[in-house]
Structure 1
Amino acid sequence: MKDIAKLHYFTILCLTFFPKLAISLTLGSLTATQSLTNEQTLVSPGQVFELGFFDPGNSKWYLGIWYKKIPGKTVVWVANKDSPLSNSSSGTFKIGDRGNIVVVDEVGTILWSSKQTQEAVDPVVQLLDSGNLVVRETSEKDPEKHLWQSFDYPTDTLLPDMKMGSNFDSGFEWNLTSWKSSEDPSTGDYSFKLDVHGFPEIFLLNNQEPKYRSGPWNGMRFSGVPEMAPLNGLKFSFVMDEHEVTYSFSITNASLISRLIMNSTGHLERYTWIESSQEWNSYWYAPKDQCDNYKECGPYGICDTNASPVCRCMKGFSPKNLQAWNLRDGSGGCVRNTTLGCRSDRFLPLKNMKLPETTTAFVDKTMSIEDCKEMCLNNCSCTAYANYMINDGGIGCVTWTSELVDMRAYTEGSGQDLYVRLAASEIAYSGSADSGNGSDKTKEIIMVIGITVGIVLLSGLTVFFVWKRKGLQMIWKEKTERRKGPRERSQDLLLNEVVISSKKEYSGESNIDDLELPLFDFSTLAIATNDFSDENKLGQGGFGSVYKGRLVEDQEIAVKRLSKSSGQGVEEFKNEVRLIARLQHRNLVRLLGCCIEIDEKVLIYEYMENKSLDYVLFDKAKRSLLDWPRRFNIICGTARGLLYLHQDSRFRIIHRDLKASNILLDGEMNPKISDFGMARIFGKDQTEANTRRVVGTYGYMSPEYAMDGHFSVKSDVFSFGVLVLEIISGKKNRGFYYANNELNLLGHAWKHWRGGNGLELIDQSLGDLYSPSEVMRCIQVGLLCVQERAEDRPTMSSVVLMLSSETATLPQPKQPGFCLGRNPVETTSSSSKQESCTVNNVTVTMLDAR
């Protein structure tokens, strides 16, 4: 006790004579007689978290909490996020008259207050090692009791032991809300909220509109998050009782640091801190793919990223809008083929499913699955049922009485079983489906035996007739082939070659039906494009022209008509048909169909209203449409699309021709990577390859690819780095080179970076309307991507992390590869549509932007 008294006396002396040292000596406590200014901080007892005033980069000041020992000031909570201070010396944090904590400006105006309802007698403010800021009575001994805590008012970050959801006793609702931008902590457009109605699940909302759904908690994880496997030392928890419905996670390994953040780009991300590399690692994020988009396939539609197209109707259902469905727009969903008959109905079992939306579902935690089936069958409005939890062999009952929406299928070992109600005539009597009425087993056995005997007899007759017809078919086929001209045989050969090579490359991934695209008649496309008129032409490249078209159902499309004289066009066509048709991501352009008639080879894509990035970026009159937020969104979206190709798609895809003209922009200026004619597929464990035929575009090719034909994911990373610097500067790398006798754009950017004046690189059309720290971060990322040695360049997963996190620590870039230096063959023609130069005896095809 004497030691404690001495320490207390020593603390009072320090507070009196050394006020600036007071905060560090109080070990995270602030009393009613103290205040906190910009030069002071509160530190938690274990030096884990720190509270103080900070400037995120917008020249405004906020009171926030960040990790004490992690470089870069990773902010996890902000008090006055919508009421910032105008300068660093104007703010004070203190305990107010009623014991609440407040942030006031230089004239005493309260900008933020904790507003607790219970008045404090002798309050003290403490910052805990959990990151929780609490107000409690000084005399209170119970650490769980407090008057107010910051954990009840989360901003964009969920820390260990924080809760999301609702407490019905206190009335608290805990949600995550994004910052406006990486430099503006004010309330953003995105939120992550736990809907407690029905069978609770979490929604990611954009201005209150659902964009992503987690699925309900199934006892082990959220139904729509199969990646939710516990880390070593990370434990997930879900509580659903009469007092609360909450989700939280906890840390059981003291060395692990993890946080969940709703970021300003619309993604929910889990980060873990890697001590060895001193950086945050993006462990998981959502939405991740096309099937994560809310209601992607509409009512009764099932989304499957392992299929092409991703949307399909389950047995007993057909597309509601067949034309839109064939054009890969599944939002209209599916409709029943046969009207339900109530008690005579049966149930179709679907395995490895993300359960449909459950906000209106009925839950019984104790009912067996058999009783659940019987209850659903007896309720003619019941559309499906499933287990409430999947652990312990399945527990409880969930039933739906409305349309089934936002379903997706997973691979083996993920998701859970779902039983969908169908008319009895839609399901054959077999062990694979549930019986609608199990009372008359004898009739079922007799029926099964009868059906079996009939099938055997029918099969015998079928074999006989097939054998008899086979000879006739061979004769007919020979006659037909002889009547075909060379053009028709060439068309059949091309189609057959596409299918065969597709089956070879994707063996074991899908059946042949998955390889088919909607086939368009050439006459239909001619009408849609006004007979491929110049008025409809969107652009032209080395392989042909692209036209805007409009189908009779008013669907706008982009039609790529391959040049008849292009020898490479056939290879490009086959590559796109068998590759891009399988790729599904919001930042990849969608292939809607193809046309092969005589000597015409045509690809049909979704129409991009704002054409290509180079069409806008490099045009002095149009570049003003690209303000900095849009440019930053294009950089981040392109990075996510490239990450999908390199890592998240079923195969590792190397694009090999990433450039501004191959980034298309939709109506909202969102980027979509296009033109996969030169792309290459790598095996699961393959990381690099060599080619004797170098294809690509001068100015975007990495040195090792242009000089030696060596390409890998790092080749695409180099091209992305060039693209980033072009987006920032508004200048072409190749065009910039010819405008300067010494440096290309990469050398110019490197020179400014080393000189400490990187912001001079920014496009002058932006004026002062940009975020300096965001621009500098993008320049640094761009330079890291164009480093000369491939092994020095980051992977796209690291790039996405560096772009999305304002707190990630970025390494310093090394000298970039300067794209082969000067072209040995100078040309003065700027109107040429196709040029070539030879470097190290390698022929390089250069395509102008379309």
Structure 2
Amino acid sequence: MRRGLSHDVDSCSSSAALLLLLLLLLATLFSISGGADTLTPDLPLLVDGSTTLTSAGGTFQLGFFNPSGSTNRYVGIWYNRISPQTVVWIANRRSPITTRFGNLSLTTTGALVLTDGNSSILWTSGAPDSSLSNPVAQLFDDGNFAVHESGSGGSDGFAWQSFDFPTDTQLPGMILGRRRLRNGTDLDINITASTSDSDPTPGPFVYGLDLRGDPQLFIWSGTEQYWRAGPWNGRWFSGVPEMVDTANGLLRFDVGPNQTTYFRSDQSSALLRFVMHSSGTVELNVWLESRQSWNRIWYAPKDLCDSLSSCGPNGYCRQIITPQCVCLQGFHPRSPTNWRLRDGTGGCLRTTPLDCRNGTDGFVILRNIKLPDTSRSMVSASLSLDQCRSLCLNNCNCTAYAASNISDGSNGCITWTTSLTDITVYQSSVGQDLYVRLAAADLDSDTSSDRRQNHFVVIIVTLVVSIVVLSCLAFCLWRRMKKRGADIIEATEENDLDLPLFDLGTIRNATFNFSSQNKLGEGGFGPVYRGKIGEDQEIAVKRLSKTSTQGLNEFKNEVTLIAKLQHRNLVRLLGCCVQEEERILVYEYMPNGSLDILLFGYLEVITASSPFPDKKERSSMSLTTFLALDIQELDQIINLLLLFYLDEVKGTILDWRTRYNIIVGIARGLLYLHHDSRFRIIHRDLKASNILLDKDMDPKISDFGMARIFGGDESEANTRRVVGTYGYMSPEYIMDGIFSIKSDVFSFGVLVLEIISGKKNRGVYHGSHNSNLLGHIWNLWKESQCMDFVDKNIGHSFSEIEVLRCIKIGLLCVQDRAEDRPTMPLVLTMLSSTGDIALLPEPKQPGFFSKRDLMSEIYLSSSMSNHQDSSASNQITITNIEGR
């Protein structure tokens, strides 16, 4: 009896298994085959990945996928022909499939339903906003997945569409803002960042349109406003001047009262996407088919001025210039103490109350700005600018006005009746005009800040205390500089250079009389200022410091050397000035600054160049020296605090493609110096701070003050005076004073490895071995773990083969023996090669030996201690990395 019962049970179990297998087979047979673009009620989409939808043009696919680093399954849409997989929409962000079974189906009423292996509903699109008799769900070539009546092609509108429920990506044609559905309800549409790359659950950052007042694009962090793009002015969003005339014709915007949409231009077939990252950054990417990678066109936030209302009510923020926060004319800091400490969040107060009754108020123009927050402003699109002025004057509560549309002149009217917040003044001639209302007493005076007054008091006291000592020192320096300056002028004239001579008055006007607000940085030569000549020519002005001991030689070297050089990867010298004891070099301005700041971060670079003395030196300071240093320290500390925030943001600028282009550009510049220019030139101080980046992030080698010209037959030379930057100098140069083109190759190799790792060579990266960067990468290379060396800020979109090739080339360039290192023509050949990297020579051990490092330190210490001894046979000058 038991045997029969057991047999029956086994038979039942077998039958159930066969039935389940049959059902799965039938589901597979009647599921969607790969390549179709339409989902119907009788053809589900299976979780096993065997079935997907592909849009008619082949641009997008829809199916099940696993995020990188996760075993969860999601329904998503991604680009069909792009690798690595780039997902643009996810249905079940909050409810992943965690089992082996599941499917996406369409009901006969037009609802999309996602179920797991237990038939539990994980996600549904809900009932469509219109009734359908024969629904289908179709994936279109713009990336939209929509439910509509079969046979209509969506011509009568969609009953439901994925474009109404975006995730972290806005595609062309997808609106942000508010849309009225056919059932009469309003739908607010935003994009929301994921929690992480492996977890698409919605994170705290949201990018969308705020419809209050004059609508504006915002990023929110939770419920707090995080970044503001400003209102649309007919040509760009007020806070995004980089997109003037819509990114040079690549895309166009359609902005209505309650929504904004962007489209590819009629001439563009490029793939474009706005994406909101988990870090809180939104960026516009374009796919470069030739490079097979995404290229970032624009991103935000990117600097301190992008922090919402960083300078508080009635203050404005200035990009690059320090201090960044300034009160509007006619206003003063609410808290002078906080203002001096660079905390501008408290904002500014009006100095003189408005006099609306007697009609004596007027307006001051603030030009090239991002308009204040328009959430509580009033917009009258039909008024002219003159009518707008009258409207503001007749309203006693009106604080400012501006044009709402600048696409064809200045039309429309925006008026503010509250404090003016979140204003940025741009350095270039972009932005709009804002008319700020002031009392008559404040119209002709700038009471924007009492910071200057306080600093003037400290400076005057310092000067009075130190006048006797400094006057003697200044007289001695003046006589010495005058004599050497005459020698420089004579030498310059003798060379008969084809180099323009700038008038000192022109340079003073261009730099606002060498204003500290225009100062970009300072090196061994002296301070560097930003200036502007004419309407649009921006310049960088390098001014020889009065106390510089090495600067005069550098000045002569650059004037006689770089003027002869012309290459796209060398910074261009526009001219010089040798007038009234001034020695000035004028260069083309590089908008993206120096590579070291982007690569290592603001905080690291500024700290490395800090002038702070140690405790022992400080204890022996005179009162005069301490007072003079106190101001510098205060500015330095405040700058460090302000720039700490920027480190995380700046790290994201250098993706792999940008870094690779910088490496190739530097290599081409060195090839020109070593082999293709009229003279063979050894730079001798190639380092990250001497690589400047133009507006397109193309690198340009700068600072030729230490360079040497070789004769046609010369290949190396010996010097008794070693100059350069420790960490970039080759072993034979440090130890024996021998330099050649291979010295520059060594420096280039260090630069390549720093660019890949995002770290300085000078540092300990493995405590047990006391290894610097070269030692660290050499150990990783021997253990085949080089990808651990790559900077985490590069992201995931890069070719491992290309990175490994560059690491190997970098190691070949830093080999200990100069004869083992490749020349720059060979380096460029290896960089452009697409063959197997195993075909490249195997690198030998770099110049990082512990014994050599120890001897180098002893040698450096000895040389520095004998620096003032004229009888010393060798001297060394070490250059620190300076912020620009």
How high is the TM-score relative to the length of structure 2? Answer: 0.61
Matched, 1:49 2:78: no
Counterpart secondary structure, 1:126:
strand
Where does residue 85 of structure 1 map in the other structure? 97
Distance in 2 between the 1:113 and 1:728 partners?
54
| 2:366 counterpart (350, 362, 365) | 350
**Greater shift after overlay, 73-82 or 680-689?**
680-689
CA contact (8 A) 1:836 1:846 kept: no
| 1:164 counterpart (176, 187, 192) | 176
Counterpart secondary structure, 1:420:
strand
Q: Which has the higher contact order (CA 8 A, sep 6+)?
A: 1
| 2:385 counterpart (361, 364, 369) | 369
Counterpart AA for 1:63: V
For residue 268 of structure 1, report the CA deviation from its aligned partner. 1.1
Where does residue 125 of structure 2 map in the other structure? 114
CA contact (8 A) 1:66 1:76 kept: yes
**Greater shift after overlay, 251-260 or 187-196?**
251-260
Matched, 1:274 2:288: yes
| 1:132 counterpart (144, 150, 154) | 144
Matched, 1:239 2:255: yes
Where does residue 672 of structure 2 map in the other structure? none
| 1:26 counterpart (30, 36, 40) | 36
Matched, 1:204 2:235: no
CA contact (8 A) 2:163 2:174 kept: yes
Q: How does 1:802-841 map to 2 (within 5 A)?
A: 820-823=846-849, 825-826=851-852
Distance in 2 between the 1:146 and 1:815 partners?
61
Distance in 2 between the 1:270 and 1:120 partners?
37
Where does residue 216 of structure 1 map in the other structure? 231
Cα-to-partner distance string for 1:157-186 (whole Å, 9 max, x where unaligned)? 110100011125541111111111222211
- For structure 2, the 5+ residue unaligned runs are 1-24, 446-462, 485-501, 520-547, 554-583, 585-589, 614-621, 667-685, 708-721, 734-738, 814-823, 829-833, 865-873
Where does residue 510 of structure 1 map in the other structure? 511
Q: 1:33 to 1:24 in 2, by over 3 A?
A: closer
Distance in 1 between the 2:481 and 2:687 partners?
16
Counterpart secondary structure, 2:200:
strand
CA contact (8 A) 1:188 1:264 kept: yes
Q: 1:720 to 1:275 in 2, by over 3 A?
A: closer
CA contact (8 A) 1:687 1:713 kept: no
For residue 196 of structure 1, report the CA deviation from its aligned partner. 0.4
Counterpart AA for 1:219: G
Q: 1:817 to 1:378 in 2, by over 3 A?
A: farther
Counterpart AA for 1:736: S
Matched, 1:304 2:318: yes
Cα-to-partner distance string for 1:250-303 (whole Å, 9 max, x where unaligned)? 442352111111112221111111111111111111112222221122211122
Q: 1:780 to 1:490 in 2, by over 3 A?
A: farther
Q: 1:80 to 1:682 in 2, by over 3 A?
A: closer
Counterpart AA for 1:101: L
CA contact (8 A) 1:646 1:713 kept: no
Matched, 1:40 2:51: yes
Distance in 1 between the 2:767 and 2:328 partners?
49
| 1:175 counterpart (187, 190, 193) | 190
Where does residue 744 of structure 1 map in the other structure? 775
CA contact (8 A) 2:399 2:419 kept: yes
CA contact (8 A) 2:229 2:239 kept: yes
| 2:433 counterpart (410, 417, 422) | 417
CA contact (8 A) 1:786 1:793 kept: no
Q: How does 1:248-327 map to 2 (within 5 A)?
A: 248-253=262-267, 255-305=269-319, 307-327=321-341
Cα-to-partner distance string for 1:173-219 (whole Å, 9 max, x where unaligned)? 11111111222211122111210000010111222322211110001
Cα-to-partner distance string for 1:409-444 (whole Å, 9 max, x where unaligned)? 224541112110000122249xxxxxxxxxxxxxxx
CA contact (8 A) 1:759 1:776 kept: no
Distance in 1 between the 2:764 and 2:54 partners?
42
Q: How does 1:786-805 map to 2 (within 5 A)?
A: 787-788=809-810
For residue 45 of structure 1, report the CA deviation from its aligned partner. 0.8
For residue 831 of structure 1, report the CA deviation from its aligned partner. 11
Counterpart AA for 2:415: T
Q: 1:286 to 1:635 in 2, by over 3 A?
A: closer
Distance in 2 between the 1:824 and 1:717 partners?
22
Q: 1:607 to 1:495 in 2, by over 3 A?
A: farther
For residue 708 of structure 1, report the CA deviation from its aligned partner. 2.2
Counterpart AA for 1:258: L
CA contact (8 A) 2:128 2:160 kept: no
CA contact (8 A) 1:183 1:771 kept: no
For residue 843 of structure 1, report the CA deviation from its aligned partner. 5.8
Matched, 1:606 2:637: yes
CA contact (8 A) 1:758 1:779 kept: no
Distance in 1 between the 2:55 and 2:380 partners?
44
Q: 1:517 to 1:27 in 2, by over 3 A?
A: closer
Q: 1:638 to 1:336 in 2, by over 3 A?
A: same
Matched, 1:698 2:699: no
Counterpart secondary structure, 1:359:
coil
CA contact (8 A) 2:404 2:413 kept: yes
Distance in 2 between the 1:351 and 1:517 partners?
18
For residue 758 of structure 1, report the CA deviation from its aligned partner. 5.9
Q: 1:191 to 1:487 in 2, by over 3 A?
A: same
For residue 820 of structure 1, report the CA deviation from its aligned partner. 3.6
CA contact (8 A) 2:251 2:265 kept: yes
Counterpart AA for 1:744: G
CA contact (8 A) 2:74 2:90 kept: yes
For residue 113 of structure 1, report the CA deviation from its aligned partner. 1.2
| 1:151 counterpart (146, 159, 163) | 163
Counterpart secondary structure, 1:606:
helix
How high is the TM-score relative to the length of structure 1? Answer: 0.64
Cα-to-partner distance string for 1:30-63 (whole Å, 9 max, x where unaligned)? 4434333322211011111001111122322211
Q: 1:374 to 1:687 in 2, by over 3 A?
A: same
Q: 1:709 to 1:129 in 2, by over 3 A?
A: same
Where does residue 352 of structure 2 map in the other structure? 338
Distance in 1 between the 2:654 and 2:82 partners?
30
Q: How does 1:436-451 map to 2 (within 5 A)?
A: none
Identity fraction in percent: 30
Distance in 1 between the 2:185 and 2:347 partners?
41
Counterpart AA for 2:121: I
Counterpart secondary structure, 1:167:
strand
Aligned residues: 654
Q: 1:31 to 1:206 in 2, by over 3 A?
A: same
CA contact (8 A) 1:195 1:203 kept: yes
- For structure 1, the 5+ residue unaligned runs are 1-14, 430-476, 519-565, 614-629, 654-675, 764-769, 795-808
Q: 1:373 to 1:791 in 2, by over 3 A?
A: farther
Counterpart AA for 2:847: G
Cα-to-partner distance string for 1:323-375 (whole Å, 9 max, x where unaligned)? 33333332222222211111321011222221100000001111122221111
Counterpart secondary structure, 2:754:
helix
Where does residue 573 of structure 2 map in the other structure? none
Counterpart AA for 1:35: L
Q: How does 1:686-765 map to 2 (within 5 A)?
A: 687-689=700-702, 691=706, 694-698=723-727, 708-709=743-744, 716=751, 718-723=753-758, 731=766, 735-736=770-771, 744-753=775-784
Q: How does 1:607-626 map to 2 (within 5 A)?
A: none
Distance in 2 between the 1:57 and 1:335 partners?
52
